[in-house]
Structure 1
């Protein structure tokens, strides 16, 4: 299956956390920003992406804990100038406002970085908690 067909299949089979996040991100509802969901980028399909600020948001279940594939994927995307944010599904479902606040900060930070530097440098967000996967952003309540 090619990446576009795979992305289309993912869009029709979203998790509860992805649906919750998409409700807030879709149709320019969030900061007037245009997000795309299940978007192919290179060899990967990302959950959500805001191309203007080059911020990718991933909604992850427990199967992603300690994933080496996620690290390689994030490194590749970072090398292309994207900032990758990973949130656990539980955080998205139970602390939606805090997750959205983290996304606002990332978009604003990337917009300022692009304005001042005139270029983009890819990053992966650092954790805010003691979660076993260092690539995930943990939202504290």
Structure 2
């Protein structure tokens, strides 16, 4: 089963959509705010388009076929969020025609990394 997911992820990386190629140019090699993104990465039983493991952010790009899969996409998003990830979804057309706005939303999400779950008692002191 694991091998099948690895092979599927490799195939998806080799056959990315135009929107995925464009966005990957901005996300790869820590170009966006120094954050490391992976593409077509396996999480649980899903292969997500892009994930930044250090911030727990997933970016999914949806083509026209997703207009008919809204319930399935919502379930997928809910399951990924239950695993502790934040999920951003964009239409391929938005990535292709309004790239800067998409990158601003992703940058904002990367910048909003949750505070440490166990802050020092009594706040920070010097």
Report the Cα distance in structure 1 between the residues aligned to 2:53 and 2:26, rounded to whole angstroms: 17
Report the Cα distance in structure 2 between the residues aligned to 1:86 and 1:59, rounded to whole angstroms: 6
Q: Over the residues paired in the alignment, what is the CA RMSD in angstroms?
A: 1.2
Secondary structure in structure 2 of the residue aligned to 1:53: coil
The CA deviation at 1:71 is 1.0
Task: Look at both structures and tell me which one has the larger radius of gyration over its CA atoms.
Answer: 2
Report the Cα distance in structure 2 between the residues aligned to 1:67 and 1:76, rounded to whole angstroms: 14
- Length, aligned pairs only: 115
Q: TM-score, normalised by structure 1?
A: 0.78
Query: 4+ residue runs of structure 1 moved beyond 4 angstroms?
Result: none
Report the Cα distance in structure 2 between the residues aligned to 1:31 and 1:107, rounded to whole angstroms: 8
- The answer as to 2:81 corresponding to 1:78 is yes
Q: Which runs of 5+ in 2 are unaligned?
A: 119-126
Secondary structure in structure 2 of the residue aligned to 1:106: helix
Report the Cα distance in structure 2 between the residues aligned to 1:100 and 1:39, rounded to whole angstroms: 20
Report the Cα distance in structure 1 between the residues aligned to 2:24 and 2:74, rounded to whole angstroms: 24
Match of 1:10? 12
